[in-house]
Amino acid sequence: MNGSGNDRIYGIQLVRAILCLGIVIAHSFAYAEYNFEAIGPGAMDFWGRYALLNFTSVFFAIFGFFLSASIYRIDNESAEGTLSFLKKKFIRIYPVYWLEVVCAIMLRVIVQGGYTSSGSVFKSFLLLPLPNTPQVLSVEWTLLFEVLFFLVASLFASSKRKKWFPFAMGLWGAVIWIAVLTGKSDFSVQLTMPRILISGQVLYFILGVFLYYIYIYIYITSRTLSDVKNTWCLFDLCCIRSVCFKL
């Protein structure tokens, strides 16, 4: 990774691929448990608790790592701006998500003869933490957190404001820790405002943010770039994994 952040960090990309495979396996076990009597609930004890929850937590940390890279790369010559930043990020999520939601509703209409929900289906297209919003796909809760992270990061998407990003993340993390320690929040999935803002899940994202800035500091101060790529990347991923499994 150079000063502009153009090189890929292959250690993290490899871990991301492994996590994707683990989550696919976990969902496969869940489907088998719910649809085949031969598969007992014990099968999900490991794959559900550790793969689905902790693997997703590591994804949030990696997401925070790369989102911080996007903020860090903004300079005076290529200033992003909040709207431009959001446009680039949202186009990666919404079109595919909308297509998946439409296909899911159509399949239920064809197979089950109709589709009913406890809330407004139109709200689900927004991917915002609004009350009475059904999850058509049942797994889009992670996207709600990612959209939240995009919205927060976009406030610092300029060459003048980006320097305040890590400080704001530190303050946000401190508020969440206080909420967790005082019993006002926990690490469960909370998808409505304002509780999503103080959800313990956000701490994984903030962890990834700070790991990126630590990585940049090591990169700038080190003269052995191969050592940075080959050893530090593995170290920061171990930090992500160990913290996530202890929380």
**67: DSSP letter:** H
Instruction: Quote the pLDDT of residue 172.
Output: 96
Band of pLDDT at residue 167, cut at 50, 70 and 90: very high
- CA pair distance 79, 230, nearest whole angstrom: 31
Instruction: Quote the pLDDT of residue 119.
Output: 72
Mean pLDDT of 215-225: 67
The fraction of the chain above a pLDDT of 70, given in percent, is 71
- Closest by CA position to 11, among listed 227, 206, 201, 217: 227
**Angle at CA of residue 190, ends 189 and 192, nearest 5°:** 150
Mean pLDDT of 41-59: 63
* Alpha helix stretches (DSSP H) within the chain: 10-35, 42-46, 56-72, 82-90, 94-112, 121-124, 141-154, 165-181, 202-221, 225-227, 233-246
Give CA separation, 64 vs 94, 146, 157, 245, in Å: 19, 9, 14, 17
Helix axes 56-72, 233-246, angle to 10 degrees: 130
Q: Is 2 left (phi over 0), alpha (psi -120 to 50) or beta?
A: beta
**4: DSSP letter:** T
Band of pLDDT at residue 195, cut at 50, 70 and 90: confident
- CA pair distance 8, 73, nearest whole angstrom: 14
Give CA separation, 187 vs 55, 57, 95, 123, 195, in Å: 14, 10, 29, 25, 11
Question: pTM (2 decimals)?
Answer: 0.78
